[in-house]
């Protein structure tokens, strides 16, 4: 289990009506626009976590925390509003998470985060465990295979067995805590 990394994605919903803020006495209430009461602001995040690693003396080598990345894109604002000028760069969530979005996230964020934070004295055979969701298809193109082999790494992706929520570490811990906040 020392070379096992868990990744999973989760839609997180933000409800402005029930959101609480801790403000200083002189701070103004934050402005939150909402299209309608039925419209909920949501964003998808992918989390990467592994087992904490210790040496023989019990000292922490690696904490197992890699990162959490949002599925977002940036575009220029087309119109002026009271929040921003026209032409201002704004960040928007990707609403349709498909194979291409997953592939881009793996290539540009997940694999580089694992390679950069992996302990140097550990073997570079890494297994990524993932759930069996429909858009989770392992890319087989040459660019992706080269990314999993860069720097002497051997990164493999395996799927957890169907109907086994007890193996999904991120849903059981991290995402429940974030959603409750």
Average pLDDT, 10 consecutive residues per value, the chain (181 residues) = 82 67 81 66 84 89 89 89 84 85 91 91 87 75 89 87 64 62 59
Map tokens 């694992």 to a residue.
Answer: 114
In the prediction, which pLDDT does 117 show? 92
Using CA atoms in the order 13, 89, 110, 140, what is the torsion angle rounded to 10 degrees?
100
Q: How far apart are CA 114 and CA 111, in angstroms?
A: 5
In the prediction, which pLDDT does 146 show? 92
In the prediction, which pLDDT does 126 show? 92
In the prediction, which pLDDT does 121 show? 84
Report strand pairing: 4-14 vs 125-130: parallel
Q: How far apart are CA 154 and CA 147, in angstroms?
A: 10
In the prediction, which pLDDT does 14 show? 67
In the prediction, which pLDDT does 4 show? 84
In the prediction, which pLDDT does 36 show? 65
Q: Which residues contact 156 (CB under 8 A, 6 or more apart)?
A: 125, 126, 127, 128, 148
Q: What is the pTM of this model?
A: 0.75
Task: With beta carbons less than 8 A apart as the criterion, state whether 136 and 130 touch.
Answer: yes
In the prediction, which pLDDT does 95 show? 82
Domains in the chain with CATH codes: 4-20+36-180 (3.30.420)
In the prediction, which pLDDT does 69 show? 92
Instruction: Using the CB atoms, write b or e for 1-26: b if 16+ within 10 Å.
Output: eebebbbbbbeeeeeeeeeeeeeeee
């Amino acid at each position: 289990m020392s070379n096992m990394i868990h990744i999973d994605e989760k839609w997180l919903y933000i409800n402005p009506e029930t959101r609480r803020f801790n403000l200083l006495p002189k701070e103004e209430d934050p402005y939150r626009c909402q299209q309608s009461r039925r419209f909920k602001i949501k964003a998808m995040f992918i989390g990467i976590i592994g087992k904490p690693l210790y040496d023989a003396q019990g000292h922490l080598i690696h904490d197992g925390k890699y990162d959490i990345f949002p599925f977002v894109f940036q575009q220029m604002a087309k119109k002026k509003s009271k929040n921003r000028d026209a032409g201002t760069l704004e960040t928007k969530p990707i609403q349709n998470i498909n194979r291409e979005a997953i592939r881009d996230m793996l290539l540009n964020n997940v694999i580089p985060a694992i390679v950069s934070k992996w302990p140097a004295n550990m073997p570079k055979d890494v297994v990524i465990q993932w759930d069996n969701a429909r858009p989770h298809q392992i890319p087989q193109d040459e660019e992706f295979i080269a990314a999993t082999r860069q720097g002497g790494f051997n990164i493999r992706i395996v799927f957890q067995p169907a109907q086994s929520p007890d193996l999904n570490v991120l849903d059981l811990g991290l995402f429940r805590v974030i959603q409750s906040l």
